[in-house]
Structure 1
Amino acid sequence: MEINSLTLPSSRMSILLKDSPSGAPQQQNKIIWRRNKKRAFDGTHSSVDSPSLVQNNSRKIMFPQSDGVFHDSKVDVYMPKQTSLCVLMLHYTENGLFPQAQTTWEQLLYSSFVPSFEFISRLFDAYAKHGKFDEVVNILRYVDMRNFSILPNVYSLAISCFGREGQLELMEDMAKEMASRGVHISSKTANAFVLYYSIFGSLKDMENAYGRLKKSRFMIEREVIRAMASAYTRDRQFYELGEFLRDVGLGRKDVGNLLWNLLLLSYAANFKMKSLQKEFLQMLESGFRPDITTFNIRALAFSRMALFWDLHLSIEHMEREKVIPDLVTFGCVVDAYLERRLGRNLDFVLNKMNADDSPMLLTDRFVYEALGKGDFQMSSEAFLEFKTQRKWTYRALIQKYLKKHYRRNQIFWNY
């Protein structure tokens, strides 16, 4: 008989299944744990002895099928005890009961069980949530000492665990240890280094991590490209952003229009309009089709610079490409006209934009990080948050915003 995984949640173990240790076919009966036993599992009594509790129930509790929490190569009478210990270990760590967790871990060490990757992953997450990074290292040492085949994956798991919590030094120590042990770093782990440095590290550290990724001949992933672009945008380093995108390679089609859109954004944020238009034409010549984010990056730049003719041409280009305008596009038109006090001429543009459609927001969020949101967009999002019976359209939102805009400078006297 082999038990491959665990389906019971660690936080509430109210119903367990009973089975025969010998594997003989018997009827499975549900055992409902009473309040006093539940309190013992919750750790409300400090005098609970987890080994004795497991010993008393090891002959009663058998878990049918599991989802990979642990596995063991031997089929013997100790299988139920190891299963119970794994459940207790996860329960204690996830609820911050670390003395009980340590006692349970010692019992597992003496039972010669083989931990699964899923079981270790849940332990790492639980310990990292409470800042117990030394316990993560201890578990890694145990896997290393037993020379389990999952050691490379556990190293990668520890690196990701430290990185998610911003422990960059621990992450670097794990990488050096992997190199000294001859364990190869995978593409996923190398990309994780760059990702976490872009979130928690400096630009210099991030660029160094990216340099190591290039030397390893691994391809940078979409998520990491976005994270690095966000880091450059936070520091307003748009020239460096453009250089990074060219280094990645603007011809990569596996990431869609992401690289080109970010490059256009680097010029739009500094309002370098000639370079923006030049790169847009280069994008078309390279065989890429502009999407809604591409058009809205240009529309936002045209709107802020009050380039009405270019804004009109961009909207007509969207219509030819059959790209549906969204709330950002309408916001570019409304804000540009109202800024120049040309609100009476809005219908000239709105009649070409399907103003009776339902509002949608399709633009990639990294555009807001660099250019921010317009007044009309922010006002409209506030209206759309209210759950009313009214069916909003772009035209209704514009009418509401115009009424608010024209009344904002009026003075009301109370007599």
Structure 2
Amino acid sequence: MKSYGIRPSLETYNLVIRGFSRIGQFDDALVYIDEMKNAGLKPNTETYDGLIQAYGKYKMYDEMGRCLREMVSSGCLPDHVTYNLLIREFAKAGLINKMERTYQALLSNRMGLQSSTSIAMLETYAKFGILDKMEKVFRRVLNSKVCLQEDMIRKLAGVYIENLMFSRLDDLGLDLCSKTGSTDLVWSLRLLYHACTLSKKGMYSIVQEMESNQVPWNVTIANIMALAYLKMKDFMELEVLLSELPSRYVKPDIITVGVLCDACMSGFRGIPVKRIWTRTGFFDDTVEMNSDPLVLIAFRKGKFIRDFEAMYSLVEAKTKKKGSWTYCHLIDSVETHTKTRLMGS
């Protein structure tokens, strides 16, 4: 451009500066900032926003602060894009104090909070289990037009479970339903509330509501109830549940098998269930994990799953390869590994 006598514009410099910043070549980026100033062009918010975003990408948070101070001292006042960007970058880094101070600065300047910024703050509060602030931001997001991703909902649910606030799971399910309708996650959350409190009456009410709405079961629903019955040692209900899965067109997964095996170790008469599953050919199927992650968050891993993971890590370390397992092979291998370990101890 210069060789043709074309004077680079502010937009051109901004593109060059952003490009160098994105690949971490900050010295080059700063050289072009000085050059544009010498050319009589004043950096604008877009110039500094590109730098700030890149500093965040490379976890250079002190440089972010210096960049902001340089921005203000040069007479380029941060706008709502700059503040939202800073809040998101501080949120990703878990720098809660800086995130909150920047948020207060945004409010004091009467600027708007972008939806992506609200979600970043929500995710940070959930990650660190800051319950009151998490709920406050969640209410704000819920009252907006933003639709939260299901993974974010699971993070919120995980915080409630960790704090034994199981009734909030039902509230969360109903709140989600108001935004998205009755999804599988909605039913799982509402059922989990009653399962975690070991309320058979509550679980029945959710199942009846599902049936009245013609909502079919899935393996997540089945496992939530099965784990609750196992925890209650209600083996009669557990046998009925596991036996009727084929008629409900629900294919068990590794968690279901874990429930069956753990129950058998606690005195459950599992032969009728095994006979039914054998007739369907289930035990010859490849091992799968199809349950919602919330199931293990709520009930933790049972002994069978823990034994399998210990055995699998050992087998994988020896063979250096992963192969497919059938449920029959899985059960036999775990039992053999457990017996061998007990004999060795």
Specify the TM-score bucket, using the shorter chain as the normaliser.
0.7 to 0.9
TM-score by length of 2: 0.78
Query: Which residue pairs with 1:360 in the alignment?
Result: 288
**Alignment partner of 2:251: what SS?**
coil
Query: Which residue pairs with 1:47 in the alignment?
Result: none
The answer as to 2:125 corresponding to 1:197 is yes
Query: Which residue pairs with 1:300 in the alignment?
Result: 227
Q: 1:354 to 1:389 in 2, by over 3 A?
A: same
Partner of residue 280 from structure 1, selected from 201, 207, 211: 207
The answer as to 2:306 corresponding to 1:375 is no
Q: Answer yes or no: is the 8 Å Cα contact 2:17–2:30 preserved in 1.
A: no
Name whichever of 328-337 and 281-290 sits farther off.
281-290
Q: Answer yes or no: is the 8 Å Cα contact 1:82–1:108 preserved in 2.
A: no
AA partner of residue 228 (structure 2): A
AA partner of residue 333 (structure 2): K
Query: Which residue pairs with 1:22 in the alignment?
Result: 4
Query: Which residue pairs with 2:195 in the alignment?
Result: 268
Query: Which residue pairs with 2:97 in the alignment?
Result: 169
Partner of residue 148 from structure 2, selected from 221, 235, 243: 221
Aligned-residue offset at 1:168: 2.4
What is the CA–CA distance in structure 1 between the aligned matches of 2:212 and 2:70, rounded to whole Å?
A: 54
Name whichever of 164-173 and 284-293 sits farther off.
284-293
Aligned-residue offset at 1:333: 1.1
Q: Answer yes or no: is the 8 Å Cα contact 1:125–1:161 preserved in 2.
A: yes
Q: Answer yes or no: is the 8 Å Cα contact 2:24–2:54 preserved in 1.
A: no
The answer as to 2:330 corresponding to 1:397 is yes
The answer as to 2:4 corresponding to 1:76 is no
Q: 1:179 to 1:269 in 2, by over 3 A?
A: same
Partner of residue 254 from structure 2, selected from 321, 327, 345: 327
What is the CA–CA distance in structure 2 between the aligned matches of 1:338 and 1:328, rounded to whole Å?
A: 15
AA partner of residue 56 (structure 2): D
AA partner of residue 153 (structure 2): I
What is the CA–CA distance in structure 1 between the aligned matches of 2:322 and 2:54, rounded to whole Å?
A: 47
What is the CA–CA distance in structure 2 between the aligned matches of 1:321 and 1:153, rounded to whole Å?
A: 52
Aligned-residue offset at 1:362: 1.5
What is the CA–CA distance in structure 2 between the aligned matches of 1:335 and 1:353, rounded to whole Å?
A: 21
Count how many residue pairs are aligned between Structure 1 and Structure 2: 334
Q: 1:126 to 1:217 in 2, by over 3 A?
A: closer
The answer as to 2:149 corresponding to 1:232 is no
Q: Which runs of 5+ in 2 are unaligned?
A: none
Query: Which residue pairs with 1:119 in the alignment?
Result: 50
What is the CA–CA distance in structure 1 between the aligned matches of 2:240 and 2:75, rounded to whole Å?
A: 63
Whichever of the two has the greater Rg, that structure is: 1
Query: Which residue pairs with 1:128 in the alignment?
Result: 59
Query: Which residue pairs with 1:63 in the alignment?
Result: none
Q: 1:344 to 1:288 in 2, by over 3 A?
A: closer
AA partner of residue 366 (structure 1): L
Give CA deviations for 1:331-350 in whole Å, capped at 9, x if unaligned: 11111112216466663243
Q: Give the structure with the larger helix fraction.
A: 2
Q: 1:77 to 1:282 in 2, by over 3 A?
A: closer
Aligned-residue offset at 1:369: 1.6
Q: Answer yes or no: is the 8 Å Cα contact 1:337–1:346 preserved in 2.
A: no
Partner of residue 138 from structure 2, selected from 189, 206, 210: 210
Q: 1:251 to 1:330 in 2, by over 3 A?
A: farther
Give CA deviations for 1:229-285 in whole Å, capped at 9, x if unaligned: 111122222133334444x15455457221221222222223222212222322333
Name whichever of 363-372 and 118-127 sits farther off.
118-127
Aligned-residue offset at 1:220: 5.2
TM-score by length of 1: 0.66
Q: Answer yes or no: is the 8 Å Cα contact 1:198–1:227 preserved in 2.
A: yes
Give CA deviations for 1:315-359 in whole Å, capped at 9, x if unaligned: 355434433221111111111112216466663243146110111
Q: Answer yes or no: is the 8 Å Cα contact 1:312–1:349 preserved in 2.
A: no
Q: Pairwise CA RMSD of aligned residues? A: 3.8
Q: 1:124 to 1:136 in 2, by over 3 A?
A: farther
Give CA deviations for 1:274-318 in whole Å, capped at 9, x if unaligned: 212222322333454433222211122223333334334333554
AA partner of residue 261 (structure 1): S
Q: 1:379 to 1:155 in 2, by over 3 A?
A: same
What is the CA–CA distance in structure 2 between the aligned matches of 1:384 and 1:305, rounded to whole Å?
A: 29
Q: Answer yes or no: is the 8 Å Cα contact 1:304–1:336 preserved in 2.
A: no
Q: 1:347 to 1:257 in 2, by over 3 A?
A: closer
Give CA deviations for 1:68-116 in whole Å, capped at 9, x if unaligned: xxxxxxx52689987765555555567xx8xx87666544555536647
Q: Answer yes or no: is the 8 Å Cα contact 2:52–2:64 preserved in 1.
A: no
Query: Which residue pairs with 1:34 in the alignment?
Result: none
Query: Which residue pairs with 1:71 in the alignment?
Result: none
Query: Which residue pairs with 1:188 in the alignment?
Result: 116
